[in-house]
Structure 1
Amino acid sequence: RWERTATYNLGLDFSLWNYRLSGSLDYYYKNSTDVIGLLSSDPTSGFNSYNANTASIINNGFEMQITSNNILSDRFSWKTQLTGSFNFNKVKEVMTAQPSGVEGLIPLISQIEYVAEKPIGALYAYNYAGLNDKGQPEIIDKNGNRRMVSTSTSGGNSEISIDDMVYMGTTTPKYVLGLNNQFSLGQFDLSFLFMYYGGHVMRTQAPDPYVTNRSFNSEALNYWKESGDETNTDIPGFMVVGDPNYFNAYSKTGYTYAKKFVKNADFIRLRDIVLTYRIKEELSNKFHLSNTMIRFQAQNLFKYTFSDNSIDPDAIDRNSGVRTLPRPTMFSFSLYTNF
């Protein structure tokens, strides 16, 4: 079926004190049904996934823009602009059955899935209990019992369900704010833009002795090696098939996707600083030019994260915790003119 959306909007524009303060406020409500998304298919069909109606979703929130002309004079001016977006969404209905076995829970944890009565991008984690005396990772299930995610050599264990996990929040920012200040002095213009993203969480990568690339965490060296180590570490050791202490990769997800590795993803970034010099028209006209400007721009000079780590929330897959390349600090110099 075609995806359908009913939208309701209410807006307000205002200006005060001869436009010294102006802005707009918009409230919206969207009810989307038969939302189209990707579903996994039987590999024997020749396709890994297909498009289908997957869910019904409600979005509501408001957007604002406020502009303040703080100082206006012949040679100097200062203008501030605040923009904001506040979005709250909820999946009302899921048209496909949620996976119940371990094989199904892995994509449910590490990928964005629709979950009824939860927001888009719902993130789940295990209530990790630590290691037993065999070095095997255990979780606390919905009944308060310690257990492994999987006890079979094949990995499957249908007794584990979404109820054995903890909802941690959404990976999608609920609040986005922008603060832009613009200054003009004579022929010079200076502006800088701060952005804030908040109300969301991210999964971070667990210390793992198997990880040997640039994402390696030195804490992984303190992994379990023999009975008794479980009193001073909760990092699983190496899995050896045939060993009495063997645990499979499915069981390890109880550690990898533990709730302690889910962090607050709120952050502030100084996204842009732009310095412009506007060459006087009488000088430009001598060279048959007009509107000539020299511009220097710097991007991503500063960021502040609200979590207890220095991970850039823009440089990580918030569902799986896999790190990506951080946004580089960039500088540019440009010349603009009209012939």
Structure 2
Amino acid sequence: MSNVNQQNWTIRNQLSYNRNWNTDLHQLSLLVGQEAQEQRETTNGSLVRGYNDLLQSFGAVDYATLGVTGVTGPVMPNNAGRSILTNDIFNQADRQTRFTSYYANTGYTFDRKYVLNGSFRVDQSNLFGLDKSAQNKPIWSVGGKWILSSERFMKDLMWLNHLATRATYGLTGNSPAPGTAASYDILATQRSSFLPGGVGLRVATPSNAKLTWESTSTVNLGLDFALLNNQISGSVDVYRKKTDNLLGYLPTNTFTGYASIVGNLGDLENKGIELSLNTLNIRKGDFKWNTIFNVAYNKNTITKLNLGAPVTTGRDRVNQQYVAGYPAFAVFAYEYAGLDNMGDPQIKLADGTVTKTPNVSKVNDAKYMGTYQPVWSGGVANVFNYKSFSLSANAVFNLGHVMRRDVNGFYYGRILHGNIENLSTGAGFKGGNLHADFAARWRQPGDESHTNIPSYVANPAISTARRDVTHYTRGDINVVSASFVKLRDITLGYSLPALLLDNLKADQVTFRLQLSNVMLWKANKDGIDPEFISATFGNRSMLANQNAVSFGLNVKF
């Protein structure tokens, strides 16, 4: 049983001023305000075992023993050959977050053609940054707009309905998720048989008084247009975003006792362009067809990265997602050089050497394969209307990125019922099936000429001593394109005519039939849907909502 109680409140004091004069030649608006917020969430829960729902009773359980020493020799141990209860019989948490803000906005328009606006805001929070230098981080923006189509020299262009240019510059901020960072150490209970009484305290979230807001400065240039009696309209935006003090898990000095802490990880720059286009293709009688198209290109680069220790090995570089001078979410891999005559995976180093020896690769031996964040993204929707019927088809695309494909990762241990058994936890027969590629592995000398899949070595110690199987699993041969285009949905709708609505005393009644995710084009040849795989680790997840059919009814009175 669990209970959740939330109490939220917001207090806002705001003053606004608006004035137009000289027959709207000048238009001015001003706004200043102050806002305070508090969110408090209290949760508690209890758990009993052996509960009888019919009799509403439960048996006696020795939680003190089962939760500390546990039971030795079970079928499925979860702690060094024994089973220990991992769930507490009672839990309680109290989370409180507070924000206070001061803000101001102003806007001025001259002759309905020239627009200037600006904003300023200061936020403070109890979540982090006890130090004053970390708290006082104002955010602000300034922008302007010129409506060229209202100028006299544009009046003769009858095909041009609207044309405006925009330019903005601003600074925004971002804070960590509640509970992940704090000005003081956050303690949590810890159960262990090694502690007196089986219970103690641990530092769940170490303090970081110097943690400050993540801030992003943005320069944006835009163009809005409408042509041919508004049959074609859209906008183009070009931007550059520079983010300082990125929030993330920062490696710490090992003497602190923590592997990482939420801190300011580094700096990032994004550059890109976005296009949005709306077209009215056909409008004849009761029939209308219009298209909505949008596409975005983004290139990012990590310009600074705060690391606790330098990266010196190829293995560390291959496991890195964030590297200074490269895009965020980078994918690195070994240059795979096939198998030797023992079925062991080999890699090619930067100097041309081919080796299978573990732990010999250096940083420059790892290849940059790309980023697992889409470089191009967008969608296109076509909407058809005829009288009370509507039909729409919406497709989305993500292009230019890569992913690790799912490969077999078990090349040593004891096989039990087709699975690899981990002798220390007994998880072998409940750990899932082996990858089908395992059947095509190297089995005898000569197989290296027609397979890239390493041999299976039953003894883990022998396998680890003579080779590194990640040379294959993390090799460039197993990095593939993640680009795809998917028909997201096809929707058929019908709205009841006005006469029937009057009889039903309703404002609107609409029926809807929708097919979702019915078609996929993918660049990879492995049958992988890029939306259902971990791009960094190559683990597929269960498909959901694919080829789905849904019916809907929307009624408004």
1:24 aligns with 2:235: yes
Query: What corresponds to 1:139 in structure 2?
Result: 347
1:13 and 1:250 map into 2 onto residues whose CA distance is 59
2:333 and 2:262 map into 1 onto residues whose CA distance is 27
Query: What corresponds to 1:125 in structure 2?
Result: 333
Query: What corresponds to 1:60 in structure 2?
Result: 271
- In the TM superposition, what is the alpha-carbon distance from 1:261 to its structure 2 partner? 1.1
Q: Residue 178 and residue 192 in structure 1: after superposition, are their counterparts in 2 closer, same or farther (change >3 A)? A: same
1:163 aligns with 2:364: yes
Q: Residue 231 and residue 183 in structure 1: after superposition, are their counterparts in 2 closer, same or farther (change >3 A)? A: closer
On the 8 A contact 1:85/1:176 being kept in 2, the answer is yes
Q: Residue 44 and residue 228 in structure 1: after superposition, are their counterparts in 2 closer, same or farther (change >3 A)? A: farther
Q: The residue matched to 1:251 in structure 2 has which SS?
A: coil
1:103 and 1:175 map into 2 onto residues whose CA distance is 30
1:114 counterpart (312, 315, 322): 322
Q: The residue matched to 2:463 in structure 1 has which SS?
A: coil
Q: The residue matched to 1:246 in structure 2 has which SS?
A: helix
1:5 and 1:149 map into 2 onto residues whose CA distance is 44
TM-score (ref. length: structure 2): 0.55
Query: What corresponds to 2:531 in structure 1?
Result: 314
Q: The residue matched to 1:13 in structure 2 has which SS?
A: strand
- In the TM superposition, what is the alpha-carbon distance from 1:165 to its structure 2 partner? 1.1
- Where relative contact order (Cα < 8 A, 6+ residues apart) is larger, the structure is 1
Query: What corresponds to 1:69 in structure 2?
Result: 280
2:351 and 2:331 map into 1 onto residues whose CA distance is 21
2:247 and 2:465 map into 1 onto residues whose CA distance is 35
Counterpart residue type for residue 178 of structure 1? G
2:549 and 2:466 map into 1 onto residues whose CA distance is 45
Query: What corresponds to 1:100 in structure 2?
Result: 312
Query: What corresponds to 2:487 in structure 1?
Result: 270
- In the TM superposition, what is the alpha-carbon distance from 1:230 to its structure 2 partner? 2.9
Counterpart residue type for residue 380 of structure 2? L
1:225 counterpart (430, 443, 461): 443
Q: Residue 47 and residue 289 in structure 1: after superposition, are their counterparts in 2 closer, same or farther (change >3 A)? A: farther
- In the TM superposition, what is the alpha-carbon distance from 1:14 to its structure 2 partner? 0.2
On the 8 A contact 1:239/1:248 being kept in 2, the answer is no
1:296 aligns with 2:516: no
- In the TM superposition, what is the alpha-carbon distance from 1:105 to its structure 2 partner? 4.4
On the 8 A contact 1:239/1:247 being kept in 2, the answer is no
1:296 and 1:246 map into 2 onto residues whose CA distance is 56
Number of residue-to-residue matches in the alignment: 327
- In the TM superposition, what is the alpha-carbon distance from 1:263 to its structure 2 partner? 0.9
Counterpart residue type for residue 144 of structure 1? G
1:55 and 1:336 map into 2 onto residues whose CA distance is 48
1:232 and 1:18 map into 2 onto residues whose CA distance is 63
1:36 counterpart (247, 256, 272): 247
Larger radius of gyration: 2
On the 8 A contact 1:202/1:264 being kept in 2, the answer is yes
Q: Residue 280 and residue 98 in structure 1: after superposition, are their counterparts in 2 closer, same or farther (change >3 A)? A: farther
Query: What corresponds to 1:153 in structure 2?
Result: none
The Cα offsets for residues 174-209 of structure 1, whole Å up to 9 and x where unpaired, read as: 111211101001110111101111010111022456
1:54 and 1:80 map into 2 onto residues whose CA distance is 42
Counterpart residue type for residue 266 of structure 1? S
- In the TM superposition, what is the alpha-carbon distance from 1:242 to its structure 2 partner? 8.1
Counterpart residue type for residue 438 of structure 2? A
Q: Residue 232 and residue 189 in structure 1: after superposition, are their counterparts in 2 closer, same or farther (change >3 A)? A: closer
Provide the alpha-carbon RMSD of the alignment: 2.4
Q: Residue 275 and residue 176 in structure 1: after superposition, are their counterparts in 2 closer, same or farther (change >3 A)? A: same
Q: Residue 126 and residue 242 in structure 1: after superposition, are their counterparts in 2 closer, same or farther (change >3 A)? A: closer
- In the TM superposition, what is the alpha-carbon distance from 1:286 to its structure 2 partner? 0.9
Q: Residue 166 and residue 104 in structure 1: after superposition, are their counterparts in 2 closer, same or farther (change >3 A)? A: closer
Which has the larger displacement, 96-105 or 72-81?
Answer: 96-105
Structure 2: unaligned runs, 5 residues or longer: 1-211, 412-417, 420-430
Q: Residue 67 and residue 238 in structure 1: after superposition, are their counterparts in 2 closer, same or farther (change >3 A)? A: same
Q: The residue matched to 1:70 in structure 2 has which SS?
A: strand
1:169 and 1:126 map into 2 onto residues whose CA distance is 13
Q: Residue 25 and residue 145 in structure 1: after superposition, are their counterparts in 2 closer, same or farther (change >3 A)? A: same
Q: Residue 228 and residue 6 in structure 1: after superposition, are their counterparts in 2 closer, same or farther (change >3 A)? A: same
Q: The residue matched to 1:176 in structure 2 has which SS?
A: strand
Q: Residue 300 and residue 242 in structure 1: after superposition, are their counterparts in 2 closer, same or farther (change >3 A)? A: closer
Q: The residue matched to 1:172 in structure 2 has which SS?
A: coil
The Cα offsets for residues 141-185 of structure 1, whole Å up to 9 and x where unpaired, read as: 1211112251xxxxxx3x423211111111000111211101001
Query: What corresponds to 1:190 in structure 2?
Result: 391
- In the TM superposition, what is the alpha-carbon distance from 1:224 to its structure 2 partner? 2.6
Counterpart residue type for residue 57 of structure 1? L
TM-score (ref. length: structure 1): 0.88
1:88 counterpart (299, 315, 321): 299
1:312 and 1:21 map into 2 onto residues whose CA distance is 34
Structure 1: unaligned runs, 5 residues or longer: 151-156
1:337 aligns with 2:555: yes
- In the TM superposition, what is the alpha-carbon distance from 1:80 to its structure 2 partner? 0.6
1:197 and 1:242 map into 2 onto residues whose CA distance is 40
Q: Residue 77 and residue 228 in structure 1: after superposition, are their counterparts in 2 closer, same or farther (change >3 A)? A: closer
